[in-house]
Chain A
Amino acid sequence: DAKTTQPNSMESNEEEPVHLPCNHSTISGTDYIHWYRQLPSQGPEYVIHGLTSNVNNRMASLAIAEDRKSSTLILHRATLRDAAVYYCILRIAHSGGSNYKLTFGKGTLLTVNP
């Protein structure tokens, strides 16, 4: 499975933008880049995903490098409620049971300071 590398932790101030990096140098052409976050004592929550183009939704933006070997999750204005562990995961796009699994790393613990 293609792996991702994320910093163990990052810190931000409330109301400021946050850029969470993810390296995935062994990504294949059919891997989608998924981001999830896990708030304390909760299950993971889907944030955003993309293949090649940058993506925006109500929660965040995803910037994907042209060579797809890295990506950045952007929270435009961090709030205290954004404090969580953020996971960057590669999801194989092919059909087939084992291809649907998500392989979690340890993620990045984001601390938001008031």
Chain B
Amino acid sequence: NAGVTQTPKFQVLKTGQSMTLQCAQDMNHEYMSWYRQDPGMGLRLIHYSVGAGITDQGEVPNGYNVSRSTTEDFPLRLLSAAPSQTSVYFCASYPLGTVSYGYTFGSGTRLTVV
């Protein structure tokens, strides 16, 4: 199993540009989520989803959109990038209906907005 795959690994955007960060998992996990991590900080939740067609906001959702059309994929969209969105973004997944497992994280996308 590949686990959680994030693409791209690195990206530089100009202010105002849009882009989509991709997240895919092959473990059939219902729950998927996006976090951002700023230097010296812990991770903060942006958006999450408990299944296809269901998404909700986390702690810092402004400036980001998500959708969940399949169980496997949970893309994060930046409609108009701002320098404040310079960060490392992590995607995580989890199987619902159990407490026996930990969350699985991707290796991250490092985004710089200039």
Which residue numbers of A lie inside 8 Å of B, CB to CB? 32, 34, 36, 42-49, 51, 87, 93, 95, 97-98, 100-107
Q: How close is B84's CB to chain A, nearest CB, in angstroms?
A: 19
Given contact pairs A98-B56, A105-B42, A45 touches B50 in the complex (Cβ within 8 A): no
Q: Which of B31, B41, B102, B106 contacts A100 (CB 8 A)?
A: B31
Q: Which residues of A contact B42 (CB under 8 A)?
A: 87, 104-107
Complex formed: what's the CA distance from A107 to B97 in Å? 28
Which residue numbers of B lie inside 8 Å of A, CB to CB? 4, 31, 33, 35, 40-45, 48, 50, 54, 56, 58, 90, 92, 94, 96-97, 99, 101-108
Q: Which residue of B lies closest to A91 (CB)?
A: B99
Q: Which residues of A contact B44 (CB under 8 A)?
A: 104
Q: Which residues of A contact B41 (CB under 8 A)?
A: 106
Task: Identify the interface centre among B4, B42, B108: most chain A CB within 10 Å of its CB.
Answer: B42
Q: Which of B43, B50, B90, B101 contacts A97 (CB 8 A)?
A: B50
Q: How close is A77's CB to chain B, nearest CB, in angstroms?
A: 22
Q: How close is A58's CB to chain B, nearest CB, in angstroms?
A: 13
Number of cross-chain contacts by CB at 8 Å: 61
Task: Identify the interface centre among A45, A47, A104, A105: most chain B CB within 10 Å of its CB.
Answer: A104
Q: How close is B54's CB to chain A, nearest CB, in angstroms?
A: 7
Q: 6 other contacts beyond A34-B102, A44-B92, with CB at 8 A cut-off?
A: A42-B108, A100-B96, A101-B45, A102-B92, A106-B40, A106-B42
Q: Which residues of B contact A93 (CB under 8 A)?
A: 99
Whether A101 and B107, one on each chain, are in contact in the complex, defined by CB atoms closer than 8 angstroms, is: no
Whether B105 and A44, one on each chain, are in contact in the complex, defined by CB atoms closer than 8 angstroms, is: yes
Q: Which of A42, A47, A101, A103 contacts B48 (CB 8 A)?
A: A101
Whether A97 and B102, one on each chain, are in contact in the complex, defined by CB atoms closer than 8 angstroms, is: no
